[in-house]
Amino acid sequence: MDYPDQQLQDRRLIEELVFRWALARDSDDWEALSECFHDGADIRISWIQAPAETFLSRSKEMAENRPLGMHMKHLICNNWIETNGARGFSRCNAVLLIRDHFEGVWFDFEGHFRFFDRVEKRNNVWRIVNRTAVYDKDVINPNTPAPGATLPWNDEVVKDFPPQAKYLYWWFAVRGVTCDPQLITAYSEEEAQLHAQCRHWINNLD
């Protein structure tokens, strides 16, 4: 659909890009996911800080080793988009939902964070050039606990992980994945710096 205002159309296309990333990632559509990134793009989230190509290959590897019954879904909302010519800055809230099991205990995980995306229009196509996640909080609940069972994510186990993502870090740790020790968290100085960097980037086109 074409809009009479170019900025409005650009914001709509960027919003669609952010939604498309989530659905492609959750449905193992690797071609569509790769098309969300421009060449040379990079990503920084809890479990990886790398070029987009590395993120894609490792995501595919994780999917190929997905345990039976495990599900993952990213929910995206409250997308705030600014554009300046061929550059865009998108912020959105995101919720990661996971159902999985460990040591006989099924659980539902819910993590809240924000994506800060720098996007560019190249050859009239908007794609991500940098994605960084800022973490807010998470929670985990047993789905079918055995009577009297000791939950594998007890306070002692997660005490050394960042409070804003302690259960997410535990989930990756039991799979042998080491997460970013310098996690960017909500309302932190690091988040303020990231925001300033994104605003500087979109407003300085040289």
CATH of the domain at 38: 3.10.450.50
pTM of the shown model: 0.93
Instruction: Count CB-CB contacts under 10 A for residue 171.
Output: 23
The pLDDT of 35-54, averaged and rounded, is: 97
Our count of domains for the chain comes to 1
Specify if 175 maps to a domain.
Answer: yes
Nearest alpha-carbon partner for 37 in 135, 99, 143, 118:
118
Domain span including residue 198: 6-203
Specify if 106 maps to a domain.
Answer: yes
Specify if 1 maps to a domain.
Answer: no
Specify if 167 maps to a domain.
Answer: yes
Specify if 16 maps to a domain.
Answer: yes
- The per-residue pLDDT for range 144-188, each reduced to its tens digit, is 766 666 788 989 999 999 999 999 999 999 999 999 989 999 999
Nearest alpha-carbon partner for 111 in 197, 179, 202, 15:
179
Residue for token digits 């909500």? Answer: 186
Specify if 102 maps to a domain.
Answer: yes
SS3 string of 43-96?
A: EEECCEEEEHHHHHHHHHHHHHCCCCCCEEEEEEEEEEEEEECCEEEEEEEEEE
What pLDDT shows up at residue 2?
54
